Amino acid sequence: MLIIMRHGADEAEIRRVCDTIEEMGYQSRPMPGRQRTTVGLVGNDGRGEWQPEPTVVQLPGGLTVGGTDVVVMAGPCSVESEAQILAAARAVRSAGATVLRGGAFKPRSSPYSFQGLGRKGLELLELARRETGLLIITEAMDDEGLELVSETADIVQLGARNMQNYSLLKQAGRQKKPVLLKRGLSATIQELLLSAEYILAEGNPNVILCERGVRGFDTSTRNLFDLSAVAVVHGLSHLPIIADPSHGTGHRDMVTPMARAAVAAGADGLLVEVHPQPDRALSDGAQSLYPEQFERLMVEARAIAEAIGRRIAAPAGVAV
């Protein structure tokens, strides 16, 4: 549970709130912001929204996010054609992924860039699921898209640009499909957690957070991939958090090292862009792995997961 102090609250007022929380038998964790301080309440017994045990999000087929397993979601940035999405689905399943990612609706910085296939893209994702057994994650951009995506996807993705679209967050909270909420381009971890509260407060407990990098000043990478967010979120929240090293770096040769680091840091999953022919991708080709690169990533991720007492979740019908 997060308590938001009023603007201008002084140290004495914050201390009184912390003292009250601790008198009730809980722990308080002040989190100063540029304009307001938020106080985290840890150890709540159910009278608030905090819960002492980590949330484990249940997915179809017995897959879970937030438990011992590390779930790998992989596939192209955009659904481009039937041949492309089926080739990608077969490749990532063969390597050990359990969830297929692919955008049917694509928010792009330029209005002239490829925007996705829309409804046709959702139909092709359904086809890929029927053929491979992979679960589906795809992004919703607005209320109308959310309704369409919820009918198809096993996990609804809300992208970085919509992290503070509060009406969309509320709508996502009213439907019961698991939601993957990406950190905004310039959002603090506190703001990410507060955005998640909008979904939780509407009655949907199935929220998965995603660290995908924030804007920095160094142009060597697409974003500043903040792996400390994994540890911070696990310390402040009961929600699972996965990592997206593809958007976090923007460069194909950096994705695998950062994926390894994310698993070592305790991420509950990975979201990785993989394309059958990255050099011909209609979006994000520079950060998309070739299938053989993804195979190697999975081998290395399994070794790291096992070293810290976890395991990479296996596709249905595949022995661990």
Which own/partner pairs from 110-114 qualify as long-range (CB within 8 Å, at least 24 positions apart)? 113/283, 114/78, 114/80, 114/282, 114/283
- CB neighbours of 67 closer than 8 A, spacing ≥ 6? 56
Distance CA 30, CA 239 (A): 19
Is the pLDDT at 61 greater than 70? The verdict is: yes
Q: What is the mean pLDDT of residues 172-178?
A: 94
Q: Tell me the sheet residues that pair with 64.
A: 58
pLDDT at 148: 93
Is the pLDDT at 207 greater than 50? The verdict is: yes
Domain with CATH 3.20.20.70 in the chain: 57-312
Is the pLDDT at 46 greater than 50? The verdict is: no
Q: What is the mean pLDDT of residues 248-266?
A: 97
Q: What is the mean pLDDT of residues 154-166?
A: 96
Is the pLDDT at 184 greater than 80? The verdict is: yes
8 Å CB contact between 214 and 186: yes
Distances in whole angstroms, Cα of residue 26 to Cα of each of 36, 45, 51, 190, 209: 22, 9, 11, 20, 24
Higher per-residue pLDDT: 30 or 116 = 30
Q: Residue 1 has which token pair?
A: 């549970």
CATH architecture of 2-42: 2-Layer Sandwich (3.30)
pLDDT at 254: 97
Fold assignment, 57-312 = TIM Barrel (3.20.20)
pLDDT at 228: 96
Domain with CATH 3.30.70.1140 in the chain: 2-42
Q: What is the mean pLDDT of residues 251-278?
A: 98
Is the pLDDT at 49 greater than 60? The verdict is: no
Per-residue confidence band for 234, with pLDDT thresholds at 50, 70 and 90 = very high
pLDDT at 113: 63
pLDDT at 4: 77
Is the pLDDT at 112 greater than 80? The verdict is: no
pLDDT at 7: 75
8 Å CB contact between 40 and 51: no
Per-residue confidence band for 123, with pLDDT thresholds at 50, 70 and 90 = very high
8 Å CB contact between 303 and 259: no
pLDDT at 302: 98
> Scanning the structure block, which residue is given the tokens 């201390």?
15
Is the pLDDT at 107 greater than 90? The verdict is: no
